[in-house]
Structure 1
Amino acid sequence: MITTREGGSSRPPFDSFNLGGRVGDDPEALAANHRKLASGIGLPADRLVWMEQIHGRTTTIVDGPQAEPVEATDALVTAEPDLALVALTADCVPVLLGDPETGVVAAVHAGRVGARVGVLVSALEGMLEAGARLGAIEALLGPAACGECYEVPAGMQADVERHLPGSACKTRRGTPGLDLRAGLWEQLAAAGVGKVGVDPRCTMESPELFSHRRDEGRTGRFAALVWAEPEERS
């Protein structure tokens, strides 16, 4: 599931369904948005697991509700049904993974730095540790800054391409760019994940989504969530 910025309680520039803390939003509005999200997916609020995302490659396996966001991690994995894992983004790539045969799921925050250092590979390793079968895993690459918009210095592009092949591209201006979803797609394929879907929306071009780059750093975060329902498990 991917949320949008619409239908919440936050005031500009976080209007209105901001789900990210540490961005400067009013705490009461943020809490109201969190409650609305839980209600909207039909789970108690304590069944949503959040991350303290740091642009790293750490994966954490959780087996139940967490009183606070999981510290210093950019990927969550669980085999527990009805436990929703949440990744927050506003240009980075949210990646949702699931093995429908075992019920093991993962939510990944894959920004430029995290994708470069292998956070997605780390998440796949965590899923296997939790009991998933690689050949059964399905993936969704969520909305993110597209390669035509994501302009970077040439040296940065070359560095990321060395670590995440397939990510280098040209922007619509003809300048060096990064298409992180293309690189992550290739990484999934190389790992043996055969079913990969892509939400094609570009955060910088889609007004219904938050974008850190478009809004010059003063904006909210939308959420990508994944969970397994008990009846989906074999």
Structure 2
Amino acid sequence: MTLRIRRVTTTRSGGVSAPPFDTFNLGDHVGDDPKAVAANRKRLAAAIKLPEDHVIWMNQTHSSDVALVDGPRADAVDDTDALVTTTPRLALAVVTADCVPVLMADARAGVVAAVHAGRVGAADGIVLRTLETMLAKGARAADISVLLGPAVSGANYEVPAQMATDVDARLPGSRTTTAKGTPGLDLRAGIARQLSGAGVKAIDVDPRCTVADKKLFSHRRDAPTGRLACLVWME
């Protein structure tokens, strides 16, 4: 039986957080009022029609660590940057404000994953590690669909030339040139190439750039600021 896959991406609007986290901040580590974050997360769970403990959060650390989740939980999964589950109606959440949220699903095998892929984690192989974990749970690369969510685009991700070279050596295809003509990184391009090379065929990229789109949170543009959430689950 093929399961129905749901993916959701939030924006800045619709919450209760005060500036500079206005308004729908879903990150609990950015200095926002914890009560506001809790209220926003409650609103999100209600909007997607799941109990609050069925939305699984991570305490992200820019690592290459992957965690398996098999049931509801009220607390976040510590020290991880990717979640994998085979349990329906568990929404795996990743929070970002420029890094790449990667939502992966094999509807036929019943395996989904959410990945926080920043520059460090992406270069360290967090996405491929997550793919390997999904395969170990019965997924097939050819059956996996991927959404690379809103993130800083290559046009707006300026980095030192040596950093661009170093990251591209580990994540080929990620080096680019910014709108200013300076060295830059397009992590989504590198991740898409990496997944394609691993046999994943269905890769969609959200065209929005967090820096350019004022409806989205961007750490590079506005720090301190809030965090978006991208979620994936099975029904």
* TM norm. shorter chain > 0.5: yes
Contact persistence 1:140–1:197 (CA under 8 A) = yes
Superposed displacement of residue 159, structure 1? 0.4
Distance in 1 of aligned mates of 2:62 and 2:221: 20
Instruction: Provide the TM-score with structure 1 as the length reference.
Output: 0.96
Superposed displacement of residue 66, structure 1? 2.2
Aligned residues: 228
Q: Which amino acid is 1:226 matched to?
A: V
Q: Find 2:224's aligned residue among 218, 221, 231.
A: 218
Q: Are positions 1:7 and 2:39 aligned together? A: no
Q: Which amino acid is 2:229 matched to?
A: A
Residue in 1 that maps onto 2:75: 68
Q: Are positions 1:169 and 2:181 aligned together? A: no
Q: Find 2:205's aligned residue among 193, 198, 218.
A: 198
Q: Which amino acid is 2:104 matched to?
A: L
Residue in 1 that maps onto 2:41: 34
Residue in 2 that maps onto 1:51: 58
Contact persistence 2:58–2:80 (CA under 8 A) = yes
Contact persistence 1:152–1:176 (CA under 8 A) = yes
Distance in 2 of aligned mates of 1:99 and 1:228: 10
Contact persistence 1:61–1:130 (CA under 8 A) = no
Contact persistence 1:47–1:84 (CA under 8 A) = yes
Identical-pair percentage:
59
Q: Secondary structure at the match of 2:46?
A: helix
Distance in 1 of aligned mates of 2:142 and 2:202: 9
Instruction: Provide the TM-score with structure 2 as the length reference.
Output: 0.96
Residue in 2 that maps onto 1:129: 136
Residue in 1 that maps onto 2:5: none
Q: Find 1:86's aligned residue among 81, 93, 114.
A: 93
Distance in 1 of aligned mates of 2:138 and 2:225: 37
Distance in 1 of aligned mates of 2:109 and 2:50: 21
Q: Find 2:110's aligned residue among 103, 124, 133.
A: 103
Distance in 1 of aligned mates of 2:74 and 2:192: 33
Segments of 4+ in structure 1 off by > 4 A? none
Q: Which amino acid is 1:132 matched to?
A: A
Distance in 2 of aligned mates of 1:73 and 1:65: 17
Contact persistence 2:52–2:74 (CA under 8 A) = no
Q: Which amino acid is 1:156 matched to?
A: M
Q: Secondary structure at the match of 2:39?
A: helix
Superposed displacement of residue 133, structure 1? 1.6
Contact persistence 1:85–1:106 (CA under 8 A) = yes
Q: Deviations over 1:52-109 (max 9, x none)?
A: 1000110111101123111110000000000000000000000000001022000000
Residue in 2 that maps onto 1:228: 234
Contact persistence 1:51–1:73 (CA under 8 A) = yes
Q: Deviations over 1:112-134 (max 9, x none)?
A: 00000000001101111222122
Distance in 1 of aligned mates of 2:15 and 2:30: 16
Residue in 1 that maps onto 2:3: none
Distance in 1 of aligned mates of 2:80 and 2:135: 18
Q: Secondary structure at the match of 2:123?
A: helix
Contact persistence 2:211–2:218 (CA under 8 A) = yes
Q: What is the CA RMSD across the aligned residues, in angstroms?
A: 0.6
Q: Secondary structure at the match of 1:28?
A: helix
Unaligned ranges ≥5, structure 2? 1-7
Q: Which amino acid is 2:225 matched to?
A: T
